[in-house]
Amino acid sequence: MHDESRRIEERVQRLHDQRIKTAIYAATVPFQVEAWQAPGEPVPFEEAAAASYEPFATGTPWGPPWGTTWFRMRGQVPEAWAGRRVEAVIDLGFTGDWPGNQAEALVHRTDGTPLKAVNPLNQYVAIAHPAQGGETVDYLVEAASNPDILADNFAKPTPLGDKRTAGDAPLYTFRSADIAVLDEEVWHLDLDVQVLRELMLELGAHDPRRHEIAHALDRAMDLLDLDDVSGSAAAVREALKPVLSRPAHASAHTVSGVGHAHIDSAWLWPIRETKRKTSRTFSNVTSLADEYEDFIFACSQAQQYEWVRDHYPKVWARIQEAVKKGQWAPVGGMWVESDGNLPGGEAVARQFVHGKRFFMDHFGIETKGVWLPDSFGYNAAYPQIAKLAGNEWFLTQKISWNQTNTFPHHTFWWEGIDGTRIFTHFPPVDTYNARFSGEEMSRAVRNYQEKGGASRSLAPFGWGDGGGGPTREIMERARRLANLEGSAKVVVEHPDDFFAKARAEYPDAPVWVGELYLELHRATYTSQARTKQGNRRSEHLLREAELWATTAALHAPGYAYPYEKLDRLWKTVLLHQFHDILPGSSIAWVHREAEAEYARVAEALHALTAEALAALGAGGPRVFNAGPCDRAEVIRTADGAPVYVQVPANGSAPLGDARPPHPVTVDGRTLANGLVRVEVAEDGTLASVYDLRAGREVLAEPGNLLRLHTDLPNYWDAWDIDKHYKNRYTDLLDASSVTVVEQDPLLGAIRVERDFGKGSRITQTITLRAGSPRIDIETDIDWHETEKILKAAFPVDIRAAHSSAEIQFGHVQRPTHTNTSWEAARFEVSGHRWVHIGEPGYGVAVINDSTYGHDVSRTVREDGGTTTTVRLSLVRAPRIPDPEADQGRHRFTYALLPGARIEDAVAEGYALNLPLRVADAAGAPRPVVSVEGEGVTVEAVKLADDTSGDVVVRLYESRGGRATGVLRTGFPPAGAQITDLLERPLQDADLTGDGVAVALRPFQILTLRLRRG
């Protein structure tokens, strides 16, 4: 037989694209269209319905950036179409190849009922099936003219990312709006040919099945009447039945399809637009559920459900009905799909608390799994946090984006820092927007790492980010691929069912220990520094507000614990931890609003804390310590004078005049306090840090060296920092001034000022306080660089085999060498309040109050000694998607802590992030809780969410070893229980007197619920 493959393939492609596809709609009549441009921000339906509309012609430009145009579309179904399937087909002028993230619209009846959205790959709205001839159609269509920020693959900066800079020129040209007859036979033929052709092209040239399909298609095309595609479609389909009905091999891989619509809660659009995207997509999904009984849609992010509930009650009612039918599956159990690295431990816990509780309250469903397909790496505390929230499985996709190493598993047990394991899956289809194409099915099988051990994987299907979610075409593909020779088998099912089957099939799956580090998007630890600082400040202010509100609720008669206010503030912070807000990868509009939100959160939390402390009564100035460790340190009073205070953990003390053992001395550019001696060089770097207690020099080279690197990644500017950034840099060594600005027995300070780059200026105040070895570097930057990153280096004379970086409820250790490609790929890593390096007998920590990105490297000097260098990433200057990212003023503090053990790093990390607070209050009662025992650290103190008045305390082991101790209470306890994160009892705790004995394994999290006597 001659090889006719090329002829057949080209023939099938042309006939499919040019004849079959174009015949799907058998007849059309245009709508009469009128338009009204909404002024400013989106308006409610009622306002739009009452507006004055003007005639609007197809081919007319419309839609200024971020604008809303309402279209009124009127028409009538021709009498001759009675009994046919009739649809509205609307093309707003969709551009590019994005299924979403551009022009989108929601179609309403004239009574305000949302029907369905129209999107680039989902342009129809069902009118009637069967149709009544002469039926009148009258729609109001809310169309959003969102700019396509991703156009040209982020090739250049764009002003379109903020309404203030986007201009008002129309973005789109209205193409068509028709009433049309769907030719169902042709539509099904289109799908038959698509599925077979794509499968054929994925099969090997020597696979008989490929040639069988090719010749079947060739013969079928002979039956296609080019002058009457509709009339011949049934015969063509009949000819294809044999090749479509051949069953899959018994050993074929099984793909569990789960309907999905990944909607970023903000990214290349603001939060206000996400509220509309969710309504549009959820309208589509519930419409599809009515059409396909076997359809199942998985949807995470409780915040998005709440938006729909509050703004689109009719869509919300349809979601509730779909949940009852089992076609809609709430998943994930988090308030939003948050970033996986940057939120603090308590914040991650609250993501689950608020998310899971929402789904239980509104649907009576407790979600079983963590659904995080798109976050940029996952911290090693996740398994324990997820399990304590009642989860059984974990799903993500993003690790497939690794730049260097291919992750070795798709189904595995993930083990966290405390030893907790959770069953985890990475879909080998390598997308969370699958459509069951032949290429996707082939890729899923080809990639699958568990061959021979397991035989199934999961594929989330549907268009995301405004694409409207799953479509009927995708569902039809799934039906054709359910049992088709040459392909993996597709079954549409609930993700819980997939995980149950996968775990039963593969109980001895391999184990991955530690963080799931994404070898990409490393700059998300640093971009948009003010957003990150707002998050860090908010997390710690929430801790303070809850602690002092609990104290007041226990001891101040008449004080009411602010449950609702704290709940709403927590949800605001949790929303902004979404994986494109907190990482700094959104447009300017998003980050402008985030900074404003954080300011409002701070104001509200300061007010709540002030109310709580005032409720304790007046009596003179007292110092309040919201941290988990006793503190003795120098603070400033309201008039700026330094004072040395000693305050217990979670408690308070009078503002007295205690004296530290050694005063601070200032001699030229040298600061000393009996613990350490710091010499500042003429160029403003730290020439020497000498640990007087240990009798050793800490620095191997000048410290606090500021280095400005060129920073232009290959792609994804705000997301990525590529390794070549290290090759080009300038050391900032030209200080314009080095001046002693404070000389007091309690503290000494030297200010260093530098001008550099494109008009940037940095002022750093190096401060040493009495009684503490911690050297603070308060930093004020006026930043005007572009495509640069600024780092601060501390080269330490320590031979450290690894660095330890704080993460949620513990820390991770990372090698300082680069023996393998896995270690070399970690050239930029994340951490929270501190990074520690050490050798037996001595260690040093670098503490920060808002910095997350850093790198640690090691070199051997000519004298044989080893220099381990910790460098903090302070600020970047990407231009895409926000061309003005990070420009302007930044204020933050980082510190060097010589002679530090891990427990010292923990204590000082809390201290720097939880400044002591001075307030006028009466003699405060005992702390709500206090701990006897090393390593047992209090993370949260609050009243129980059920308003019972019980006190909830979250503890964890913070050093990485076993810990025992006693939790003492400042109130008479009547009972104690160990609970999960949702404060549900797991077991009784032993209560003896005013304490609870605790025994923790390394990094264990323990939540105690204490009933008051």
pLDDT band at 133 (very low <50, low <70, confident <90, very high): confident
Give the span between the Cα atoms of 478 and 480, in whole angstroms.
5
pLDDT at 656 (0 to 100) = 81
φ, ψ of residue 894 to 5 degrees: the values are -130, 165
Which residue shows structure tokens 């908010």? 538
Give me the pLDDT at residue 333, please: 95
pLDDT at 97 over 80: no
Active site residue 264: no
For residue 827, the Cα-to-chain-centroid distance in whole angstroms is 22
Average pLDDT along the chain: 96
Q: Supply φ then ψ for residue 386, to 5 degrees.
A: -65, -45
* Residue 658 scores a pLDDT above 90: no
Which helix (DSSP H) or strand (DSSP E) does residue 352 occupy? helix 345-363
Cis upstream peptide for 881 (omega within 30°):
yes
User: Quick one: which of 446, 591, 583 has its CA closest to 520?
Assistant: 583
Measured CA to CA, the distance from residue 332 to residue 464 in angstroms comes to 17
SS (H, E, C) 945-973: CCCCCCEEEEEEECCCCCEEEEEEECCCE
Q: Bridge partners of 458?
A: 256
Residue 1005 has pLDDT above 90, yes or no: yes
DSSP reduced 3-state for 535: helix
Task: Give residue-wise pLDDT tens across range 461-495.
Answer: 999 998 999 999 999 999 999 999 999 999 999 99
Q: β-strands 456-461, 254-259: how paired?
A: parallel
User: pLDDT-based confidence at 661, cuts 50/70/90?
Assistant: confident
Q: How far is CA 229 from CA 15, 20, 184, 465, 909, in A?
A: 10, 7, 12, 35, 72
Q: How confident is the model at residue 925 (pLDDT cuts 50, 70, 90)?
A: confident
| Residues whose CB falls within 8 Å of the CB of residue 238, separated by 6 or more in sequence, listed in order | none
Give CA–CA dist 937/958, Å, rounded: 6
pLDDT in the model for residue 992:
85
Q: Which residue matches tokens 């390096």?
A: 837
pLDDT of 327-365, one tens digit each? 999 999 999 999 999 999 999 999 999 999 999 999 999
pLDDT digits (tens, 9 = 90+) for 855-874: 999 999 999 999 999 999 99
In this structure, of 146-160, 569-583, 642-656, 888-902, the range with the lowest mean pLDDT score is 146-160
Buried b (16+ CB within 10 A) or exposed e, 422-440: bbbbbbbbebbbbbbbbeb
* Residue 549's pLDDT band (cuts 50, 70, 90): very high
Distance CA 888, CA 730 (A): 20
Using the structure block, give the residue that is written with the tokens 């966290």: 416
Interatomic CA distance for residues 478 and 782, integer angstroms? 55
- Per-residue CA distances from 772 to 35, 136, 268, 677, 899 (Å): 69, 80, 46, 11, 11
- Range with the poorest average pLDDT among 190-199, 600-609, 928-937, 990-999: 990-999
Joined together, the tokens standing for residue 64 give 């200024």
Quick one: average pLDDT of 259-271?
Answer: 97
Phi, psi of 430 (to 5 degrees): 60, 35
Q: In the prediction, which pLDDT does 244 show?
A: 98
- Band of residue 652 on the pLDDT scale cut at 50, 70, 90: very high
In 3D space, the residue among 237, 227, 138, 252 whose CA is nearest the CA of residue 189 turns out to be 237
Compute the average pLDDT of residues 209-228. 97
State the Cα–Cα distance between residues 815 and 108, nearest whole angstrom. 58
Q: What is the mean pLDDT of residues 186-209?
A: 97
Give percent of the chain above pLDDT 90: 94
Residue 943, C-beta contacts closer than 8 angstroms, at least 6 positions apart: 549, 550, 553, 561, 563, 949, 950, 951, 952
Q: What is the pLDDT of residue 657?
A: 72
DSSP strand E in 356-398: where?
Answer: 369-371, 393-395
Q: What is the pLDDT of residues 956-985, one digit of tens each?
A: 999 999 999 999 999 999 999 999 999 999
* pLDDT tens digit sequence for 137-172: 999 999 999 999 988 788 899 999 999 999 999 999
d(CA 778, CA 760): 17
The pLDDT value given to residue 921: 87
Check residue 161 and give its pLDDT.
96
pLDDT bracket for residue 124 (50, 70, 90) = very high
Percentage with pLDDT > 70 across the chain:
100
- pLDDT score recorded for residue 1: 72
Please tell me the predicted confidence (pLDDT) of residue 620.
Answer: 87
Q: Which one of 218, 374, 920, 994 is the catalytic residue?
A: 374
Residue with structure tokens 């490393």?
522
What is the side-by-side strand order in the sheet with 810-815?
A: 735-743, 747-756, 760-769, 775-783, 888-898, 842-848, 834-839, 802-807, 810-815
Cβ-contact 789, 877 below 8 angstroms: yes
Q: Is the pTM of this model over 0.95?
A: yes
* C-alpha 715: how far from chain center: 20
Summarised one tens digit per residue, pLDDT across range 5-52 is 999 999 999 999 999 999 999 999 999 999 999 999 999 999 999 999
- pLDDT for position 618: 84
